[in-house]
Amino acid sequence: MQFAARIHRYTYRDYVALELESSTKHEFFQGEIYAMAGGSEEHSALAAEVLRLLGNAVGERPCRVHTSDLRVYVEEVGLATFPDGSVICGPLEQHPESPKATALNPILLLEVTSDSSEEYDTTTKLAAYQSIPTLQDYVIVSHRERRITVYQRAADGSWKSQVALASGRVRIQSLDAELLVKDVYRLSSIG
């Protein structure tokens, strides 16, 4: 007789308790908890460049640009994660079970890929993020080449993507702005 291995499923409350005690960030997805790896200097610099440009684009709007210190919870799929950046307009809608800031209402999310996250960022996270009702733009910055991909919610709720390479630009509809590839990668060693 064979028995299936039992997999322990954590509750969101278990995850929050772990995060309060841990010096390492963790991601929570469908009952599992995963330690998040630290990023490289290049990863950090690319995220900072995009966040700077987004901050400039926000201007006087009632919006705030956040770093990877703000957790985002995707209720539809049970994902709690720390994107490389986010933009929230208006008051932050806080997850009720989280003692630290956990946003439910980003209009924009940013991920800078890495060798270990690229597939996850462009498949599982993409699908999860698209289920956030307030999300308008999901920006993915490549670590392999000078490439920015933006997934945007259309008026009918469908999603469209645009890609810019080298000297191109992408539109950020939620902020009525553009990101120029050359500005994001201005000091990068990525070819």
pLDDT of residue 33: 92
pLDDT of residue 5: 54
Domain 40-184 of CATH type 3.40.50.1100: no
What tens-digit pLDDT sequence spans the chain (191 residues)?
455 555 678 999 999 999 989 988 999 999 999 998 777 899 999 999 999 999 999 999 999 999 999 999 999 999 999 999 999 999 999 988 887 789 999 999 999 999 999 999 999 999 999 999 999 999 999 999 999 999 999 999 999 999 999 999 999 999 999 999 999 999 998 87
Task: Please report how many Cα atoms fall inside a 13 Å half-sphere around the Cα of residue 82, on the Cβ side.
Answer: 19
Token pair recorded at residue 89: 């307009």
Q: In 10 A of CB 58, how many CB atoms? A: 17
Q: How far apart are CA 179 and CA 56, in angstroms?
A: 11
pLDDT of residue 7: 63
Interstrand relation of 85-89 and 177-180 (parallel, antiparallel or unpaired): unpaired
Query: Is the whole-model pTM more than 0.85?
Result: yes
pLDDT of residue 153: 98
Give me the residue spans of the domains in the chain.
Answer: 40-184
pLDDT of residue 182: 96
Q: In 10 A of CB 174, how many CB atoms? A: 21
pLDDT of residue 1: 46
Query: In 138-159, which positions are buried (b, 16+ CB within 10 angstroms) versus exposed (e)?
Result: bbbbbbeebbbbbbbbeeeeee
pLDDT of residue 50: 98
pLDDT of residue 191: 76
